[in-house]
Amino acid sequence: MIILESERLILRHQRLDDLEALFALYADPDLRRYIPDAPTTLEETREELAWHQHGHATRPELGLWATILKADGTYLGRCGLLPWTLDGREEVEVAFLIAKSHWGRGLATEAARAIRDYAFTTLGLQRLICLIDPANRGSIRVAEKIGMTFERAGEDEMGPFLIYAMARN
Ligand SMILES: CC(C)(COP(=O)(O)OP(=O)(O)OC[C@H]1O[C@@H](n2cnc3c(N)ncnc32)[C@H](O)[C@@H]1OP(=O)(O)O)[C@@H](O)C(=O)NCCC(=O)NCCS
């Protein structure tokens, strides 16, 4: 099912036949550098795909969606919305991952903007965040470009993170 479209991208539910493309992305060390819990095996990748193929399992209106280049149908990555509970507060994160072959063309920003608009307008969410490794300059810039500002730094079992956030208005 198609979730949303932007000028160059289609975001749709993941399908099990996305497995090889997604596994190839996760095999790239530059892509997984700031995603320490990304799947490492084909089986883990299949589990993640299955978990997201009808939307997020516990909040089906959210999820990681296959991100497809309209021009030629290339599977570029997975972008979307993920639910978290942080310090007892329900949050929704804008998540993005784009194939290295297509970095630097504004595609993550385009996806994140379209996801932001979908979250606020279609889903009626009031607040969005990005959870970012402090060294991940590209993601910080994407968060800023869609209108988020730095809110606070934190640390969990996977290491330090920054929270960027924005409210609906
Ligand atoms: C971070 C990522 C999504 C950026 O994708 P992208 O399509 O290249 O991003 P864009 O082309 O939209 O660029 C957005 C901005 O970030 C900047 N940027 C991108 N990568 C950067 C980097 N490594 N260092 C500094 N700035 C960077 C761009 O210059 C641009 O800013 P500008 O318009 O002011 O020049 C991509 O590198 C990626 O998928 N990384 C691996 C997955 C990941 O880390 N996801 C985020 C987890 S929180």
- Atom nearest to 109 CA in ligand 1: 12
Report the alpha-carbon distance of residue 157 to residue 133 in Å, rounded.
13
Residue that wins the pLDDT comparison between 157 and 142:
142
The answer to whether 79 and 115 are in contact (CB under 8 A) is: yes
Q: Across residues 84-89, what is the average pLDDT?
A: 94
Looking at the domain 2-167, which fold is it?
Aminopeptidase (3.40.630)
Rounded distance, CA 21 to CA 7, Å?
Answer: 22
pLDDT > 70 in the chain, percent: 100
b/e burial code for range 76-91 (CB count within 10 A of at least 16 → b): bbbbbbbeeeeeeeeb
Distance 114 CA to ligand 1 centre (A): 16
pTM of the model: 0.97
Q: Give the pLDDT confidence score for residue 36 in this predicted structure.
A: 85
Residues having CB within 6 Å of any atom of ligand 1: 31, 34-35, 96-98, 103-109, 132, 136-139, 141-142, 145
The ligand 1 atom at the shortest distance from the C-alpha of residue 33 is 44
In what side-by-side order are the strands of the sheet with 63-69?
A: 2-5, 9-12, 63-69, 75-86, 89-95, 127-132, 159-167, 149-156
Provide the CA 67 distance to its chain's centre, in angstroms: 10
User: Can you tell me the distance from the alpha carbon of 17 to that of 74, in angstroms, rounded to the nearest whole number?
Assistant: 13
